[in-house]
Amino acid sequence: MNKKIQKVVRKRRYYMLAVAVLLAASACKKYLPKERETVGADSQYTIDTYQPVLGRTTFFTDNFYQGSTTYPSDFKIVNPRRRNGDPAPELTDVFPVMVWKEAYDGTEKSVAEIEAKRVKQYRPLFEIGPHSGAFTMWAEARSAFVRSQPDSGYLFDVELSNSGGRRYYRNIKLMPLKERPYEPSNYNASTGQPVSNGVYASVVTNIKGANTNRYLSYNDVDVYIRKIVKAGVPATNTLTFRFLDTLYNPIDPAKFAETDWNNLVHGFEKQITATGVTYKMAYPIPAVEVPTRFTTSDGRRAKTRFSYSRLGFNGGRETAVLGLDFAIYEPGDWEIVFAFKNDNPKFTND
């Protein structure tokens, strides 16, 4: 390069000129639309009445039609109120709730291991997913302080906002149902009162009546799921299975000889006595609604099967199965009783 070039290159004002030109080129940008998210006119809550059962954690998902709204977006519950317009502090105040921090998968070896996977946090009892619009009713909400049906419950609004604007979905209804601490349930959903004595067993197969010599059916077995509360004694979170004959005398569980007692439920420290089988449990049962070896295939119920076998009339071996698919949502000392009300099962060979 010759010296003239170098001289010009050194002069500062040419750089200034270049910068000015570049600025001029970039100046037009501010008149262009900015990239923003969208709040869609067609986006909508697809469910406007939420009826969670109190005493269990209910997670309402897939309840918002995204439409042309773009994510990430923010969702917020605004102005939760009782039907008469009074404020509803029970929905906005924070309560200690148990939340999962690690995934339960059914392979845990002790109650402590399960308990280590969840932790206590302080949260409002009714929450919205901050970006998904999904609702959660925590199990710690009780009819004692949360309005439940037949009360008409609560109203609330949801604010959807993102960089494209905001929109309100008004008067979404929350009408909780009273606690039904176990399933299958004999409680009426809205009154919370029992409507029958017991529930039916899920499986009654090949159980022959000792006296009638006929195969017993669902109508011959009453199942009672009940919480044992001993005054002054703290609950130890156990589950006991008992079997009663027609005279309400206990049947020795050992008679259900082919039962896989070790894997009957996801319980620990099994104790078999002549009157019942007791496990230490982590509640709720099932702990998480995922399929494990202890649950039904959809994971929503614990699956218990009691069985024995005997030689039948023509010498064939008959395997009898008594089973119950159940769920228990409240911690405590629970008892599941199978009462043979019309005839006793026949354990002997023909």
Q: Is 315 left (phi over 0), alpha (psi -120 to 50) or beta?
A: left
**Which chain residues interact with other proteins by CB under 8 A?**
2, 4-5, 8, 21-22, 24-25, 28-29, 32-38, 57, 59, 61-62, 66, 68, 70-73, 99-104, 117-118, 121, 129-134, 136, 138, 164, 287-291
Nearer to other proteins, 281 or 339 (CB): 281
Residue with Cβ nearer other proteins (164 or 323) = 164
Give CA 241 to chain center in angstroms: 23
Give the residue with the Cβ less far from other proteins, 43 or 206: 43
Closest listed residue to residue 146, CA positions, set 122, 118, 175: 175
The least distance separating other proteins from the CB of residue 24, rounded to whole angstroms, comes to 7
Q: Which is nearer to other proteins, 39 or 324 (CB)?
A: 39
Extract the tokens encoding 334.
């629970």
Q: Which is nearer to other proteins, 41 or 257 (CB)?
A: 41
Q: Please, are residues 39 and 160 in contact by the beta-carbon 8 Å criterion?
A: yes
State the minimum distance, in angstroms, from the CB of residue 51 to other proteins: 17
Nearest distance, CB of residue 348 and other proteins, angstroms: 38
- Helical residues (DSSP H) of 103-235, grouped into ranges: 111-115
Between 80 and 284, whose beta carbon lies closer to other proteins? 284
| Shortest Cβ 136–other proteins spacing (Å) | 4
User: Taking the CB of residue 320, how many other CB atoms lie within 10 A of it?
Assistant: 21
Pick the closest to residue 208 from 197, 199, 219, 217 (CA basis): 217
Q: What is the DSSP string of 269-282?
A: EEEE-SSEEEEE--
CB of 319 to other proteins, least distance (A): 25
The nearer residue to other proteins, 2 or 348, going by C-beta atoms, is 2
Q: How far is the CB of 46 from other proteins (least distance, A)?
A: 13
Distances (CA, A) of 7 to 10, 14, 18, 40, 282: 5, 11, 17, 60, 84
Please report how close the Cβ of residue 58 comes to other proteins at its closest, in angstroms.
8
Query: Is the CB of 77 or the CB of 287 nearer to other proteins?
Result: 287
CB of 181 to other proteins, least distance (A): 19
Q: Buried b vs exposed e over 202-240: b needs ≥16 C-beta within 10 Å?
A: bbbebbbbbeeeeebeeebbbbebeeeeeeeeeeebbbb
Alpha carbon of residue 335 to chain centroid: 21
In terms of Cα–Cα distance, which of 295, 298, 297 is closest to 326? 295
| Spatial separation of the C-alpha atoms in residues 235 and 274, rounded to whole Å | 23
